[in-house]
């Protein structure tokens, strides 16, 4: 019998960033490091978006595309993702604060021309804080066979099955292997999913699975 080659799920432009779709269908994209934070703000921030950040070292910037019309649940979801993908994960915090602003409040220069490090931007005016966001991520596999991650509410809408993960001192590769084992039955036939695919969708650092949802029929 002839072997059927495995293919990769088609990559979209936003997949080089952190990303997920909110429960209302808006795209949220976040930086992975200083370089992608810079690219995100300088190339992809537009009027009508909202910009999320956390007052923590190593916080990503997140953009909610079309966020000017954001709903309260979407604010909670993007704030949660911003906190989760910050240094709060690696330091094992249970929750962290984040805030959102409008694009016109984001600047490339600090007060009085103060130098800003690469990947950093100055925020002017009022910050709209969202406090005590749980540091937790859901990981699943969507209908096209992609590994997806983000707030559990959002992932539940697009994934066949998912697991919820919180920070732990486990090796990241071990965490990814356990997640892949859980999600294996939900993979799309002929689309390969690797440990690296899972690792790419996790915050920096290890985690432990605290919930599983397997009520959707596997492919």
Each domain of the chain, given as residue ranges in start order, spans 15-134, 137-213
Give the Cα separation of 11 and 9 in Å (integer). Answer: 6
Other CB atoms within 10 Å distance of the CB of residue 102? 17
- Which pLDDT value is given to residue 209? 97
Inform me whether the pLDDT recorded for 1 exceeds 70: no
* Residue range 16-36, pLDDT digits in tens: 999 999 999 999 999 999 999
pLDDT of 8 above 80: no
Percentage of the residues of the chain whose pLDDT score is greater than 90: 76
Quickly count: other Cβ atoms within 10 Å of residue 19's Cβ.
Answer: 20
**How far is it, in rounded angstroms, from Cα 94 to Cα 162?**
20
The pLDDT of residue 219 is above 50: no
List the strands of the sheet with 18-21, edge to edge.
Answer: 18-21, 27-30, 62-64, 50-53, 95-101, 128-134
Dist CA 95 CA 136 (whole Å): 8
Q: Is the pLDDT of residue 4 over 50?
A: no
Cα 85 vs. chain centroid, distance in angstroms?
6
pLDDT tens-digit map of 105-118: 998 765 555 555 65
The confidence score (pLDDT) of residue 15 equals 96
25 Cβ contact partners less than 8 Å away, ≥ 6 residues apart: none
Q: How far apart are CA 15 and CA 215, in angstroms?
A: 27
pTM equals 0.90
Question: 153-182 pLDDT, tens per residue?
Answer: 999 999 989 999 999 999 999 999 999 999
Length of the chain: 219
* Three-class SS state of 197: helix
- DSSP reduced 3-state for 218: coil
pLDDT score for 119: 57
Q: Which tokens go with 104?
A: 């016109």
pLDDT in tens, 121-157: 889 999 999 999 999 999 999 988 999 999 999 999 9
- Whether pLDDT at 7 is above 90: no
Tens-place pLDDT, residues 181-202: 999 888 888 788 999 999 999 9
Q: Whose CA is closest to 217, among 164, 165, 159?
A: 159
């Amino acid at each position: 019998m002839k072997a059927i080659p495995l293919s990769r799920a088609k990559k979209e432009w936003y997949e080089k960033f952190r990303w997920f779709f909110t429960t209302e269908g808006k795209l949220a994209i976040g930086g992975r490091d200083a370089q992608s934070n810079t690219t995100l703000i300088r190339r992809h921030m537009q009027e009508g978006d909202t910009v999320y950040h956390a007052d923590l070292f190593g916080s990503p910037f997140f953009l909610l595309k079309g966020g000017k019309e954001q709903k309260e649940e979407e604010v909670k979801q993007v704030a949660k993702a911003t906190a989760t993908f910050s240094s709060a994960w690696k330091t094992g915090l249970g929750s962290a604060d984040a805030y959102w602003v409008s694009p016109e409040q984001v600047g490339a220069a600090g007060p009085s021309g103060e130098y800003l490090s690469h990947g950093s931007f100055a925020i002017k005016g009022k910050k709209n804080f969202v406090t005590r966001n749980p540091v937790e991520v859901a990981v699943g596999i969507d209908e096209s066979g992609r590994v997806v991650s983000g707030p559990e509410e959002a992932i539940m809408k697009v994934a066949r099955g998912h697991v919820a993960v919180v920070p732990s001192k486990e090796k990241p590769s071990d965490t990814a292997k356990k997640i892949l084992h859980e999600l294996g039955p939900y993979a799309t036939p002929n689309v390969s999913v690797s440990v690296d695919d899972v690792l790419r969708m996790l915050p920096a650092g290890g985690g432990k699975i605290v919930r599983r949802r397997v009520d959707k029929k596997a492919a």
